[in-house]
Structure 1
């Protein structure tokens, strides 16, 4: 169904090339110190600044299907290796563990059983997923 403007004329389609902020892809960003999550809402820049200020702790950033352009800001802030970042935005990677200097990048596969009274196809029995994670020691 075409989009119409208030005058009734066909409206221009939305510009899909508009930049989307990284915050649209961030599910969660948190700072942990001594195994305890600090209260508050953090941007990825604020989180690493807090860990560096305290000289201890770690940052957890959960992203949901970020595009290369959106993850680049985080990659720049945290010094993530460009090949690992490239792999992080490409779905359907094989499970692996890659090491880049002081950083690890891992791809894990998940499987979840889905209960059915009488499944008709094999893909109704399990759901699969993919987790990609970076782990790095960042010096001040």
Structure 2
């Protein structure tokens, strides 16, 4: 387990930074009005169980947090809540979306943020809250709201990257020789995964708002702002999915059209070759008949009929011409010539 940061806050200000998790509760006991914010990176089940023992965390939370790969959700276990969020980061060099997972465990005096991926790094989030003691004085809920805001704000660059990818696909659809089915399918999978990450957010935010006191007006405003961002992201993701479905349909039609064109071209070429073969075969047959007659009479056997006949030569020439003329007339009538 890697501990990213560990601090105790009183009235929104850092008063202690315990070196280890086992020191957090003793330090926290010295400040009855404070709360602890612990940041962890990929703890294993044994470490989480020790954390659960120290901070009185429900065993089901330990099970979910140790396994990872959870759907976004907000669950309450007595005074402790578990919020599972899916972060997203657009990798420009590879033109893909990298998804992460964040678990936020909040209790009356503790906020434990567990990262199961490299991004996002909540160091800036912590510094931003520490620079605003009024917000941080709200306790563990302030940490939860800040993490929610950070993750939802991180969706905007992802949407910009996906929008650029969709535009590239639309531009490439009608480019000659560019088949886009694989790229459209890959991007559709990313958009669907993104929808699974963001679609549960409105219900989660509503559940969080339902257990907030009516007097927490500023917290409710911030929660509504996060909710508005989430709704916009959900709507844009739905639009991208619809565009990709249409693009896949158009791409399939274009591929079919190109295949039909190629088949037509091949058929036309085959027909032209067939016509040429008819002509070649016709002339070969016409030439074959005189050649056959000439070769028979050219054998020079003494006892051949017509060998000594006075009209033998004109007869053979006439026979050759008759055969050739007859074959030419037949092939011409069949439009082979």
Q: Give TM-score scaled by structure 1 length.
A: 0.70
Partner of 2:10: 33
Q: Distance in 1 between matches of 2:92 and 2:2?
A: 30
Count residues in correspondence: 109
CA distance in 2, matches of 1:105, 1:40: 24
- What is aligned with 2:105? 134
Residue aligning to 1:85:
62
Q: Take 2:15 and 2:99, find their aligned partners in 1: how far apart are those partners?
A: 32
Mapping 1:92-111, distance limit 5 Å: 92-111=69-88
Are 2:74 and 2:83, in contact at CA under 8 Å, matched by a contact in 1?
A: yes
Q: Which residue of 2 aligns with 1:51?
A: 28
State the match for 2:40 in structure 1.
63
Structure with greater strand percent = 1
SS of corresponding position for 1:93: coil
In the alignment, is residue 115 of structure 1 matched against residue 86 of structure 2? Answer: no
The secondary structure found in structure 2 opposite 1:94 is coil
Alpha-carbon separation, structure 1, partners of 2:105 and 2:17:
23
Q: TM-score, normalised by structure 2?
A: 0.31
Runs of 4+ deviating beyond 4 Å: none
Contact kept, 8 Å, 2:18 with 2:27, in 1: the verdict is no
Q: Verify the 8 A CA contact 1:30 1:42 in the aligned structure 2.
A: no
Structure 2 spans left out of the alignment, 5+ residues: 110-337
Deviations 1:6-63 (A, max 9, x none): xxxxxxxxxxxxxxxxxx4322221122212235443223222222221012111111
Contact 2:9–2:16 at 8 Å: present in 1 too?
Answer: no
Q: Which residue of the partner structure matches residue 193 of structure 2?
A: none
Structure number with greater CO (CA < 8 Å, separation at least 6) is 1
Q: Gapped runs of 5+ residues in structure 1?
A: 1-23
- Indicate the residue corresponding to 1:7 in structure 2: none
**Structure 1 residues 39 and 51: CA distance shift in structure 2, 3 A:** closer
Q: Distance between the aligned counterparts of 2:80 and 2:27, measured in 1? A: 20
Q: Is the 8 A contact 1:105 1:135 kept in 2?
A: yes
- Give the superposed CA RMSD: 1.7
Q: Is the 8 A contact 1:67 1:89 kept in 2?
A: yes
Structure 1's 35 and 57: CA in aligned 2 closer, same or farther, altered over 3 A? same
Secondary structure at 1:38 match in 2: strand
Please state which structure has a larger fraction of its residues in helix.
2
